[in-house]
Amino acid sequence: MSDKKQLTTTSGNPIGDNQNSLSAGARGPLMVQDYQLIEKLAHQNRERIPERAVHAKGWGAFGTLTITNDITQYSKAKVFSEVGKKTDMVARFSTVAGEAGAADAERDVRGFSLKFYTDEGNWDLVGNNTPVFFVRDAYKFPDFIHTQKRHPKTNLRSSTAKWDFWSQSPESMHQVTILMSDRGLPTDVRHINGYGSHTYSLINAEGERVWCKFHFKTQQGHKHYTDEEAEQAIAKSRETTQEDLFGAIEKGDFPKWNVFIQVMTQVQSETFEHDPFDITKVWPHADYPLIEVGVMELNRNPQNYFAEVENAAYSPSNIVPGISWSPDKMLQARVFSYADAHRYRLGTHYEHLPVNRPKSQVNHYHKDGSMRFFDNFHENPDAYYEPNSFNGPVEDKQYVEPPFPVTGDGYRYNHRENNDDFVQPRALFNLFDDGQKERLFGNIGRAMDGVPDEIVERQLALFDKVDPAYGAGVRKALGR
């Protein structure tokens, strides 16, 4: 409409495309010249202090990863070097939308973040209890998170904002279906799966790269609340997940997860029916079966929550030789965004806080800055730049990764064009039994209470595209 204002950058420059990031080819990787993307992500990281901008409410514990199967054909990472090898780690689970004081038993995605203190430095895996996500282009991530936070006028969470965004983002259908299903409201975090969600890569000793997804299957089984049960739980305690995790570990009932990977070769990726780097899609297990890796166990509670959980900083930028990234656009943006969020929230040298400090040797040339509470080149004051002639740390070419193919023109590719965002939600919907479907319909109906008809109808049209029975079931729940 003519009365709409022109969207601009913070310096007033008009924006022509606010939907798609700049990438080299339709499958990425992203281009650092995309100032609009960097600005959106950097600004989002600075919107709230001092708690995390997202995943503010969290619960954590320490444990170990034990390797039970040889996967060295895929990765040279020392964490996988031999069967029986144990690596210390710390986990943090969380909700996405709620503030630090929010109730635990809310319908929300659960963050599933892991830091492994390996012999080659820290390896962080930042994922969720779902294998997919709401958006596939990081350019839309700040917009999505805004819909989960409080309305600027009412200071209340807005169902209208959530459904307005989802109804105009068909790529969200897979995650929305999971969120509104039984698994969208777990009783605790011992009874959930975890997923790296993104596509990563593994590199073996011969320099061969394969694409990979990480899976953590709970040994405790799955437990979920209905909406009514969650209301009753919150009425009794807002800290149900903290109580469950802390209490279980304290009495020696250590939660465990079986760890698996899926592997896809470069050749397979070129003929896969979807973009293999699209975080709104899964890889079918029949075609890319789960490969056993090991067992993760949590067996020690933090001694001080603030120092060991609140100060814990996870970022997919932390990788080790043999584990790396992929052209996944969301992953590439998070490599920047998560570390930047920690620099803002905790300080310049956040990775030297005890819970984040690697157990391997650390040598770098980052000088000065706030929180420089460790050696600041006073032991070797001449070696504060690189290259130098004073025995400072040096690079080692053996750790340079092999190349991966990149093709295409730099452009803001429309990620919704020629992309079937309904086939996988349809397959998921058809896996539900009648009881699960009825609860799904009811959960959505209650979550849409008070949402304007125009938005509801737009969302119902998306449900219809997944399966006419999906749309019909939600209409019935809404009394339409």
Which residue of the set 122, 128, 318, 443 is catalytic? 128
Q: How many CB atoms lie within 10 A of CB 368?
A: 10
Which residue of the set 45, 55, 356, 415 is catalytic? 55
Q: Is 274 one of the catalytic residues?
A: no
Q: How many residues does the chain have?
A: 480
For residue 117, give the 3-state DSSP assignment. strand
Cis? peptide before 50, omega within 30° of 0: yes
How far is residue 38's CA from residue 41's CA, in Å, rounded to a whole number?
A: 5
> What are the structure tokens assigned to 414, written together?
């429309």
Contact call for residues 8 and 129 (beta carbons, < 8 A):
no
Please state, in angstroms and as integers, the Cα–Cα distance from residue 102 to each residue in 58, 107, 155, 238, 393, following that order. 10, 12, 14, 7, 46
Q: Are strands 200-203 and 256-264 parallel, antiparallel or unpaired?
A: unpaired
How far is residue 460's CA from residue 15's CA, in Å, rounded to a whole number?
A: 31
Among the residues of 48-100, which ranges form H helices?
A: none
Q: Is 146 one of the catalytic residues?
A: no
Cis? peptide before 14, omega within 30° of 0: no
> What are the structure tokens assigned to 98, written together?
């709620």
For residue 282, give the 3-state DSSP assignment. coil
Residues in CB range of 81: below 8 A, 6 or more apart: 67, 72
Rg of the chain over Cα atoms, rounded to whole angstroms, equals 23
How far is residue 283's CA from residue 273's CA, in Å, rounded to a whole number?
A: 10
How far is residue 57's CA from residue 100's CA, in Å, rounded to a whole number?
A: 4
Contact call for residues 450 and 160 (beta carbons, < 8 A):
yes
Beta strands in 386-472 (DSSP E): 410-412
Would you list the DSSP string of 210-266?
Answer: EEEEEEEEESS---B--HHHHHHHHHH-S-HHHHHHHHHHHTT---EEEEEEEEE-H
Cis? peptide before 29, omega within 30° of 0: yes
- CA nearest to 373, candidates 357, 389, 397, 386: 357
Contact call for residues 81 and 72 (beta carbons, < 8 A):
yes
How far is residue 350's CA from residue 347's CA, in Å, rounded to a whole number?
A: 5
Tell me which residues are annotated as active site. Answer: 55, 128
